[in-house]
Amino acid sequence: MSRPSTIFGGALIGTSFTTAAQVQELLDQLQSIGINRIDTAARYSPTSPGSSERLLGEVRAQEQGFTIDTKTSTDGSLKTDGSGSLTAANITKSINDSFSRLHVVNVHILYFHRPDPETPIAEQASEIHRQYLEGRFEKFGLSNFPPGLVTEFIAVCEDKNYVKPSVYQGLYNLLSRESEKTLFPLLRKHGIAFNAYSPLAGGFLTGRATRGDTVGTRYAPGNQTTSALNVKYDTLDMHRAVAGLLDTIDPLEISGAEACLRWLYYHSILDEKDGVILGASKISQIVQNLSDISKGPLPEIVVQKIDSLFAQLAMYLPRQLISHLYLQLLRSHHPLSPPVLILVALEPDALCACRILTALLKRDYIPHKIQPVAGYGDLARAGEELVRPMQTTNGGSGGVVVCLGVGGLVDLAEILGMSQPEEEEIEEDMGGVEIWVFDARRPWNLANVFGGQAGMGQAMAEIDVNARRRGRGVDQGRITPAYTSKSGGIIVFDDGDIQEELGSERDAYYALLEMPEVDDDDESDGDDDEEEEESMPTGSKKRKSWSGREDDDDSDEEDGPPTPTKTKQFRLLDCLISNDSPSPEEPKQLSARSLKRRLLRMKRKHDATLQSYYSSGTSYSEPISSLVYSLASELGREDNDLLWLGIVGISSLELSGRTMTGVGISNSSEEGGSAGWGGQRGEHLRQIFRDEVHRLNPPDPLERDRDIRGEINGVIPTTARSPTDTSIRLSPEPRFLLVRHWSLYESMLHSPYLAPRLHVWTENGRKRLHKLLAKMGISLTQCHQFYTHMDMELKRVLRGRLLKYAPMYGLDGLVPAEPTGHASSREGWGFVRCWGWKACLSATDVGVIIGAMLEVGPHETSASWDAKRLPRARGTNDDVENGGGTGESDLASLLPRFWNAYDALSLTSESPTLLMEALPLAQHLHRAILRTGTSLLSKHQIRHLRAFRIAVVKDGPDVKLFTNPGALTKLALWIAEAIRVQEREKGDSIKIGRKRAAGTPLVLAGLDEDRDLYVVVGTGGGGGVIDYAAMSKRREERSKKKEARDKKQRERSSRRAQRAAERAEREDDDEAEDEESDESESESESESEDEDPGTKKHLLRNRFGIAFQEVVQETNARVRIDSFDHCVVEVQKDDLGGFLEALSFRSVVG
């Protein structure tokens, strides 16, 4: 049986083997076991670049008979992000440096280690061909190149008659098999061999790692070599798959590592022309690996288990899905293809995601059009004017629409006008338009998640249930690698929430979809089923109604959460009345009335599941800029520019109060550094970005004076290292505001973290600030100077003194703690980037400035009150067409702000100039927040109603500024934080059941005199964040309890069967149903007792959007609910009093 060859991976030479004697001992052992080939690189070992080649050269490995493969350097000449690393000059320099360290004149294989997105491929190919003609290597290879670039590289080489790549080195193991469908067909077509690295997924396949618990493993935060793969491997489904594999092989006395290696050598797609790169930190490990491989193929049962477990993982991993769909777009694109339409929300995170995506599209020469969208009215208008004309059914040619921060909470097919009228009994067809949805807002509209693909509207009687669920490469809403776009569809990009959190909602959704129509009105009287139905909590209306659109008034079934469209079929009914036993003594079939009651109970159960999901309130998940950056990473296009945009995107969420409990304050804000929106999950994501910073910005060996400059000791950088320095650095950012561009005093005074805690709105609070400065030894003269002009010694000791004295004033999270462990694992540290001498800005600075550019600008004076421009929350479709939602004049006033902010995030050298020009806008906004917040607090203008506090901004110099929802939200967060601090000092808190909020919810209204209305925002009290590691352990405990309950259930079923036989003759069906229902309810109650209090369902989420909707229906107040953030509404001035009074009786957090 042919099998791939074995190559020793030299990445740890220089780390695990640090001396020439240790390396010589390693080489002797390798020769004794028959391995005479070593793979290394200019960048190995990762912690000491060049040391692997140097040590191999010291022992003259090639002269001892070893074949050496190496890779070019990944550092550019002027940039540290990989761009420019494959220029002709840098290729020559890298080869010369490597050969000098290795003491060789040629090598077996020379790889390009990763792509260079900047240097033309023709230049790269020309230089490597020249090196080949000089005899510097025998074979040329590519490593980590995406399939599209491999194809382009081969085409250039064939056109110019250059040496073509004949070897490819890439990631391949049990958990990473996507290349079998995307890359291997291309390699086999051109006769290119494949050398696989990371055969054990960095040790993950041994099964020792647990969900979220990577301490002490290679997946621990800060480990540069593997931390970037945490998102890929450290997921619930991955852990379940590994556990399932171990359960199968343990009885066979096969270890996890052995199973993986034997599968790779004997059952994978690799053949004798390919190779496997085995690394080891100890000689004994490589000996054991070879011993395992020599055992031959795996038992068939293990191979089948591996295929069944891991073939399905690709369809769960969102980042793999992102790559799959983008590559599909790349392959199907041609010169006549319509441009990709990008609908972008007016928020910093969406702008950053848009910049990353457009950079990728430009790189692949895919035309695109950007359309800013301010609210649901704009979204409906974009559907009418831009999306529907793309449909093949409307004369278009199809295409792709990308929604960034837009539409995740509503039924997109309906609001874009793409759904077919119900009276037309035809198959639903999206007309070749595929809609990609990136949205951090939750809850998802489940019609987008589980019913967004074309063909879902087919009559159920015409197709098999499983075929419907699995058709077109879609399995219960999950896209598989077999998916191809034909008729189009709606695809939401999952960051992990859907696959891990929405299992019960998915089951309920499809159960309702498959359930036959059941009419409650025809049910027999004599029981209380109708009363039970009427007592069901109504919750919010359909999410689509929040967009300003209304269903028909005569449809009573439209209340509650969106329910899947049900069509006539009797498959489920047949299942309920089926008989598996041929015995004539079997109890007789249930009556039609009993069957109907059972269906009604099932329907109500599933309706309650969806109702619970929708009525839990809003929250925010992973920033979409992070998801789109992962797309760039999957394609091998990551660089410093795109990384910076991703960092700015995640930094912007906390500034706008977007937490895991919706818009509001969070308990995690007490932590140091960048604490905020995501708790443990957010910090895990930020740590991945810190590791990316270290990977793309390795330290410059020539910068030996950085210790003298103080950066390594915690001084925040304010200048670049050189005129050409555009690197990203980590910095222990204090939670001050725009400290590099203000005086220290002004920065502290306007800090949203420090100001509320010191009560700076009072005279005593200002004195406390002065005392803090005095304790730190900083005079008022010094702290009133521009920060960059302060005494250098004061700046050097500032962080240490803050760590010492800030806790005395309750400011424990003011600066991140001293770093421990690996340099890259500086928890709480922020990010800073310089553009030569032009500017030096932190990611938070950029987020503040971009936010201000979107929220502050020239205000267009609007006409007086116009009912058409402010429709009711449930307007008709005609209302939307006639001006409901954001009016065109409103969008026209916002467009200049959007494009100014978009230009400020450009990838050119103009970006820092535009950001610095907009800096006064940000300072003006935060001065206004401090002035207005101080006025409201000092004048005691904040009232405490039943469920929340209320404040109104209706006069003062800044009243017009706070007619913008974003600015008003920041003011509300500032005031809410101040109230939270006061409540905590008094020992007060708000508690609902087992859930405790961070503070009392707040409603803030800002008067817009020009339009005679109030802009109203509701911020939640917050309720902490999720501990995913603890949640995983609790799930395991619940799994054991469930097994015990299942055992009891089987015993009850046996007893029930005996009783059913006795009742058969008495024809007591109804009693049997009631008893069964009671037992089911008892079991359900038992399960609910074990429900995890740490899950998202138990956080105090912001429910203001739901409460606003309920109040509108009750009071008929003139209200417009148009914002994508449902906690923001506009209320006509005369209706505000009644609106707030009714709101005070509603549950606003839950």
pLDDT band at 713 (very low <50, low <70, confident <90, very high): low
User: Which of the pair, 1010 or 997, is modelled with greater confidence?
Assistant: 1010
Encode pLDDT of 841-866 as tens digits: 999 999 999 999 999 864 433 333 33
* Residue 747, φ and ψ in degrees, nearest 5: -65, -40
Query: For position 414, what pLDDT does the model report?
Result: 87
Instruction: For residue 177, give the CATH number of its domain.
Output: 3.20.20.100
Please state, rounded to an integer, the average pLDDT across all residues of the chain.
76
pLDDT band at 870 (very low <50, low <70, confident <90, very high): very low
Q: How many CB atoms lie within 10 A of CB 84?
A: 18
Question: CA 490 to CA 123: how far, in whole Å?
Answer: 41
886 three-state secondary structure: coil
Query: What's the half-sphere exposure (Cβ side, CA atoms, 13 Å) at 409?
Result: 29
Structure tokens at 345: 């929300």
Structure tokens at 33: 């076991």
pLDDT band at 71 (very low <50, low <70, confident <90, very high): very high
User: Which of the pair, 530 or 136, is modelled with greater confidence?
Assistant: 136
Q: Are 1064 and 1117 in the same domain?
A: no
Encode pLDDT of 807-816 as tens digits: 888 888 888 8
Query: For position 674, what pLDDT does the model report?
Result: 45
Q: Are 969 and 1075 in the same domain?
A: no
| Contact predicate 245/303, CB 8 Å | no
Exposed/middle/buried for residue 47 (C-beta within 10 Å: 0-12, 13-18, 19+): middle
Question: CA 986 to CA 1076: how far, in whole Å?
Answer: 51
| Contact predicate 460/295, CB 8 Å | no
pLDDT band at 309 (very low <50, low <70, confident <90, very high): low
| Contact predicate 1144/946, CB 8 Å | yes
Q: Are 138 and 166 in the same domain?
A: yes
Task: List all residues 6 or more positions away from 768 whose beta carbon is below 8 Å from its beta carbon.
Answer: 758, 759, 809
Q: Are 1042 and 1079 in the same domain?
A: yes
Q: How many CB atoms lie within 10 A of CB 691?
A: 22
Query: For position 337, what pLDDT does the model report?
Result: 84
Average pLDDT over residues 931-959: 90
Question: CA 514 to CA 460: how far, in whole Å?
Answer: 7
* Residue 343, φ and ψ in degrees, nearest 5: -95, 120
Most confident segment among 61-65, 75-79, 994-998: 61-65
360 in a domain, yes or no? yes
Query: What's the half-sphere exposure (Cβ side, CA atoms, 13 Å) at 526?
Result: 6
Question: CA 375 to CA 373: how far, in whole Å?
Answer: 6
Question: CA 1149 to CA 945: how far, in whole Å?
Answer: 14
Question: CA 575 to CA 1038: how far, in whole Å?
Answer: 30
Structure tokens at 612: 């619970």
The packing angle between helices 51-58 and 88-102, to 10°, is 40
Most confident segment among 66-75, 162-171, 1125-1134: 162-171
Query: For position 869, what pLDDT does the model report?
Result: 33
Query: For position 318, what pLDDT does the model report?
Result: 43
| Contact predicate 945/1144, CB 8 Å | yes
Question: CA 956 to CA 949: how far, in whole Å?
Answer: 21
For the cut 60, the answer to whether the pLDDT of residue 1065 exceeds it is: no
Least confident of 75-89, 229-243, 456-470, 810-824: 456-470
Least confident of 397-411, 419-433, 658-672, 725-739: 419-433
Task: List all residues 6 or more positions away from 240 whose beta carbon is below 8 Å from its beta carbon.
Answer: none
User: Which of the pair, 299 or 988, is modelled with greater confidence?
Assistant: 299
531 in a domain, yes or no? no
Question: CA 179 to CA 72: how far, in whole Å?
Answer: 23
| Contact predicate 621/659, CB 8 Å | no
For the cut 70, the answer to whether the pLDDT of residue 831 exceeds it is: yes
User: Which of the pair, 99 or 1066, is modelled with greater confidence?
Assistant: 99
The packing angle between helices 1136-1143 and 1104-1115, to 10°, is 120
For the cut 90, the answer to whether the pLDDT of residue 517 exceeds it is: no
pLDDT band at 678 (very low <50, low <70, confident <90, very high): low
The answer to whether the Cα torsion of 775, 776, 779, 783 is positive or negative is negative
Q: Are 1072 and 1056 in the same domain?
A: yes
Report which of 381, 166, 379 is spatially closest to residue 275, judged by C-alpha positions.
166
End residue of a domain, out of 461, 488, 514: 514
Average pLDDT over residues 662-677: 56
Q: Are 975 and 1084 in the same domain?
A: no
Query: For position 379, what pLDDT does the model report?
Result: 93
Query: What's the half-sphere exposure (Cβ side, CA atoms, 13 Å) at 1061?
Result: 9
1007 three-state secondary structure: strand
Average pLDDT over residues 338-364: 94
Report which of 832, 838, 846, 842 is spatially closest to residue 728, judged by C-alpha positions.
832
Query: For position 1023, what pLDDT does the model report?
Result: 44
Task: List all residues 6 or more positions away from 798 whose beta carbon is below 8 Å from its beta carbon.
Answer: 715, 734, 776, 778
Structure tokens at 883: 């001006």
| Contact predicate 803/817, CB 8 Å | yes
Query: For position 641, what pLDDT does the model report?
Result: 93
1025 three-state secondary structure: coil
Question: CA 163 to CA 938: how far, in whole Å?
Answer: 76
pLDDT band at 916 (very low <50, low <70, confident <90, very high): very high
Query: For position 75, what pLDDT does the model report?
Result: 66
- When divided into structural domains, the chain yields a total of 4
Query: For position 929, what pLDDT does the model report?
Result: 94
| Contact predicate 207/246, CB 8 Å | yes
For the cut 50, the answer to whether the pLDDT of residue 561 exceeds it is: no
The answer to whether the Cα torsion of 722, 723, 728, 731 is positive or negative is positive
Query: For position 344, what pLDDT does the model report?
Result: 96
pLDDT band at 220 (very low <50, low <70, confident <90, very high): very low
Indicate the DSSP class of residue 383: I
Q: CA 1078, 1080, 1084 angle in degrees (round to 5)?
A: 115
Question: CA 146 to CA 154: how far, in whole Å?
Answer: 13
Q: Are 1041 and 1130 in the same domain?
A: no
Helix (H) or strand (E) holding 97: helix 88-102
Average pLDDT over residues 269-298: 91
112 in a domain, yes or no? yes
Indicate the DSSP class of residue 618: B
| Contact predicate 991/1148, CB 8 Å | no
Question: CA 307 to CA 328: how far, in whole Å?
Answer: 24
Query: For position 544, what pLDDT does the model report?
Result: 33
Q: How many CB atoms lie within 10 A of CB 63?
A: 9
712 in a domain, yes or no? no
Domain range for 409: 318-514
User: Which of the pair, 511 or 582, is modelled with greater confidence?
Assistant: 511
Average pLDDT over residues 8-34: 92
Distances (CA, A) of 374 to 37, 382, 870, 1001: 59, 11, 15, 26
Question: CA 855 to CA 925: how far, in whole Å?
Answer: 9
605 in a domain, yes or no? no
Q: Are 1129 and 1012 in the same domain?
A: yes
Query: For position 526, what pLDDT does the model report?
Result: 43
744 in a domain, yes or no? no
Most confident segment among 75-84, 468-477, 536-545, 1003-1012: 1003-1012
Query: For position 519, what pLDDT does the model report?
Result: 62
Q: Are 359 and 342 in the same domain?
A: yes
Query: For position 584, what pLDDT does the model report?
Result: 43
Query: For position 919, what pLDDT does the model report?
Result: 92
End residue of a domain, out of 476, 494, 514: 514
User: Which of the pair, 36 or 721, is modelled with greater confidence?
Assistant: 36
Query: For position 849, what pLDDT does the model report?
Result: 94
If you write DSSP's letter for every residue of 147-212 in order, what string do you get?
Answer: HHHHHHHHHHHHHHTPPPP-EEEEE-BTTB-THHHHTHHHHHHTT-EEEEE-TTGGGGGGS--BTT
Helix (H) or strand (E) holding 55: helix 51-58
pLDDT band at 675 (very low <50, low <70, confident <90, very high): very low
Least confident of 237-241, 305-309, 508-512, 1089-1093: 1089-1093
- Predicted TM-score of the model (pTM): 0.66
Question: CA 418 to CA 51: how far, in whole Å?
Answer: 60
Q: Are 1109 and 964 in the same domain?
A: yes
For the cut 60, the answer to whether the pLDDT of residue 884 exceeds it is: no
Q: What is the CA radius of gyration of the chain?
A: 31
User: Which of the pair, 245 or 941, is modelled with greater confidence?
Assistant: 941
Q: Are 9 and 57 in the same domain?
A: yes
Encode pLDDT of 410-459 as tens digits: 888 889 887 654 444 334 457 788 889 999 888 888 888 877 443 333 22
236 in a domain, yes or no? no
Average pLDDT over residues 351-379: 93
pLDDT band at 944 (very low <50, low <70, confident <90, very high): confident
For the cut 50, the answer to whether the pLDDT of residue 171 exceeds it is: yes
For the cut 70, the answer to whether the pLDDT of residue 279 exceeds it is: yes
1117 in a domain, yes or no? yes
Instruction: For residue 470, give the CATH number of its domain.
Output: 3.40.50.2300
Encode pLDDT of 952-996 as tens digits: 999 888 999 999 999 999 999 999 888 888 887 776 555 554 455
Structure tokens at 851: 């936010």
| Backbone dihedral region for residue 633 (phi beyond 0: left; psi -120 to 50: alpha; all else: beta) | alpha
Query: For position 923, what pLDDT does the model report?
Result: 93
Report which of 240, 495, 500, 496 is spatially closest to residue 1092, judged by C-alpha positions.
500
Average pLDDT over residues 1013-1035: 64
For the cut 90, the answer to whether the pLDDT of residue 531 exceeds it is: no
E strands, 825-914, where? 830-834, 840-842
Query: For position 310, what pLDDT does the model report?
Result: 53
Q: Are 1012 and 1039 in the same domain?
A: no
Report which of 857, 830, 648 is spatially closest to residue 740, judged by C-alpha positions.
830
The packing angle between helices 348-363 and 624-634, to 10°, is 20
Structure tokens at 629: 């950056």
End residue of a domain, out of 470, 498, 514: 514
